[in-house]
Amino acid sequence: MEYVLFIIIAYLLGSIPSALIVGKLGYKIDIREHGSGNLGATNTFRVLGIKAGTIVTLSDILKGTIATLIPLFLDADVYRLIIGLFAVLGHTYPLFAKFKGGKAVATSGGIILGVSPLLFISAVIVFLLTLYLSKYVSLSSIITAVIAVVVAVLLKEDIGLIFVVCALAAFVSYRHKDNIKRIRNGTEPKITWM
C-alpha cells in the first residue's frame, strides 16, 4: 500500500508542468505553441531565455529529488529509486498537460541527486563541459546519461542505482531520437549563450 501512495505522489509531482507554468505566469505565452513545442527546460531556454530556462531546470530537478526524498523523510519502507522513476514518467507524460511533457533529463538528474549527490555533481560537470564543446543540448544530454552509467560503476554505487541509471540513460536516449536525426542532417539548433 505504501508503494501505491508514494508512486501516485511521485507521478503527480512529476506531472507539474514547470515550463507551462513559467511561460503562462511570467510571459503570458503557452510554451507548447513555440519553438519545438516541448514542455522541457531546453525549449524554455530557447523561447523564453536564460532566466526562465534556469527556473524550469531547477524546478524539474526538484521534482525528481523531492519524489525520492519524501519516503526517506517519512521513514517509509520502499525503494526510493523506484518511486523516483514515477516522477520521471509524470514529467514525460504529465497528467496536467495532456500527457505531453519533457524529455526526462532534469527530472532524472533530480532522482540521482536524491540518492547520490556525488554522481549528480559529476553528471552536471560532464553535461556543462559537453554543452560548451558541442553547443547541442540534446547531444550533451545523451552523452551525460551514458557517462553517468560509467561513473556510477566507478563510484561503486549500489547495484540498484546502477540499474536505474542504465534505464534512465536508455530512456533519455530514446526520447532524443528525433534530435539525433536532426544532428545528423544538420538541422538541430545550437545554443548561442555559452
- Condensed to tens digits (0 to 9), the pLDDT of residues 142-158 reads 999 999 999 999 999 99
Residues found in the chain = 194
pLDDT in tens, 2-18: 899 999 999 999 999 99
Q: Could you give the CA distance from residue 126 to residue 128 in angstroms, rounded to a whole number?
A: 6
Q: How confident is the model at residue 193, as a pLDDT?
A: 79
Q: How confident is the model at residue 194, as a pLDDT?
A: 78
CA 48, 53, 55, 59 torsion: positive or negative? Answer: positive
- Looking at every residue in the chain, the average pLDDT score rounds to 95
Maximum alpha-carbon separation in the chain: 50
Q: Which 3-state string (H, E, C) describes 108-143? A: HHHHHHHHCHHHHHHHHHHHHHHHHHHCCHHHHHHH
CB 168 within 8 A of CB 104: yes
CA-closest candidate to residue 44, choices 14, 15, 19, 18: 19
Could you give the C-alpha distances from 187 to 46, 79, 103, 106, 192, in angstroms and in order?
Answer: 15, 41, 19, 24, 15
What global pTM score does this model have? 0.94
Could you give the C-alpha distances from 188 to 41, 177, 183, 191, in angstroms and in order?
Answer: 16, 12, 5, 10
H helices of 37-116, where? 41-48, 50-73, 80-92, 105-115
Across the range 47-62, mean pLDDT stands at 96
Q: pLDDT confidence of 1, banded at 50, 70, 90?
A: confident
Matching residue, cell 531547477: 58
Which helix (H) or strand (E) segment holds residue 173: the answer is helix 159-175
CA-closest candidate to residue 106, choices 160, 38, 33: 38
pLDDT in tens, 17-38: 999 999 999 999 999 999 889 9
By percentage, how much of the chain surpasses pLDDT 70? 100
Q: Is the pLDDT of residue 164 over 80?
A: yes
